[in-house]
Structure 1
Amino acid sequence: MIPAVNDDLQNDFEIEQEPSKTFKLNILSNRIIGYTDGLDAVKQAAYLILNIERYEYIIYSWNYGIETRDLFGQPISYVLPELKRRITEALTQDDRIESVDAFLFEVAKGKVHVTFTIHSIFGSFDEEKVVNI
């Protein structure tokens, strides 16, 4: 005999998006000045992700930040696609960021300057990163 299932759970719930409200950082003065939300919060999160070396600080999860130090001294044919992959991987760890594309690389004087477009649930914006090679 198969037991009857009494389904008391109803599918009458809604999935809500958590607010992305966070402290607003003033990068130039190294101060916190109020709060930010929406696209500005995603821009700030992208800035922090791209400027924190992954695995360097124990305060951050191993899923946070980007690895760039081991690219130093590598051939440019390895650095460019690897940098694209690492930037995309690091940024898409954030739930609010949907994709990263439109990569443009400039190589000069031992540095790679990369610009790209970040598409988030709040809108799109351009970002850049400079890496020593």
Structure 2
Amino acid sequence: MTPKVNEELANTFVRLPLPSKTYRLDRENNRIIGYCDGVEAVKQAVYKALLTERYAWMIYSWNYGSELNGLFGKQMTTVYPEVKRRIEEALLQDDRIHKVRDFSFEKTRNTLQVTFTVDSKVGIFESEVSVNV
């Protein structure tokens, strides 16, 4: 038997977004200091997700992190679309991020510098990551 839900009661609830307040990473001094919220918190989440290898750490869910380390030695014609797909897959797990777009690639000797734009609920910003290829 399925319980009946009072539709009138269900319509009175207001869903509030969860705050994105988190600890601020001071990357220059390798320490945590204070808090951040809004765009800074999303930028930090992008940074952490792209530098955390998926499936490597038991503390994280299998939905968290990126899979950018397995591209070393692959053909460059397959690396570009695969990097794009893997970055999108890693970042779109965060419900604050709507879209990842405008990818640009710069290849040096063994590194691919990827720059992209992130559209989030709190703002639009540019980010980058380096991938060993």
Q: TM-score, normalised by structure 1?
A: 0.92
RMSD across aligned C-alpha pairs, in angstroms? 1.4
Distance apart, 1:8 and its partner CA: 6.8
AA aligned opposite 1:15: R
Q: Distance in 1 between matches of 2:13 and 2:125?
A: 33
Q: Distance in 2 between matches of 1:101 and 1:6?
A: 41
**Residue aligning to 2:50:** 50
**Residue aligning to 2:6:** 7
Query: What secondary structure sits across from 2:33 in the alignment?
Result: strand
AA aligned opposite 1:129: V
Q: Distance in 1 between matches of 2:7 and 2:76?
A: 60
Change (3 A) 1:14 1:32: same
Structure 1 unaligned regions, length at least 5? none
Q: Hey, which bits of structure 1, 4+ residues long, moved more than 4 A?
A: none
The alignment of Structure 1 onto Structure 2 pairs a total of residues equal to: 129
Q: Distance in 2 between matches of 1:77 and 1:22?
A: 38
Distance apart, 1:7 and its partner CA: 3.5
Q: Distance in 1 between matches of 2:5 and 2:122?
A: 41
Q: TM-score, normalised by structure 2?
A: 0.92
Structure 2 unaligned regions, length at least 5? none
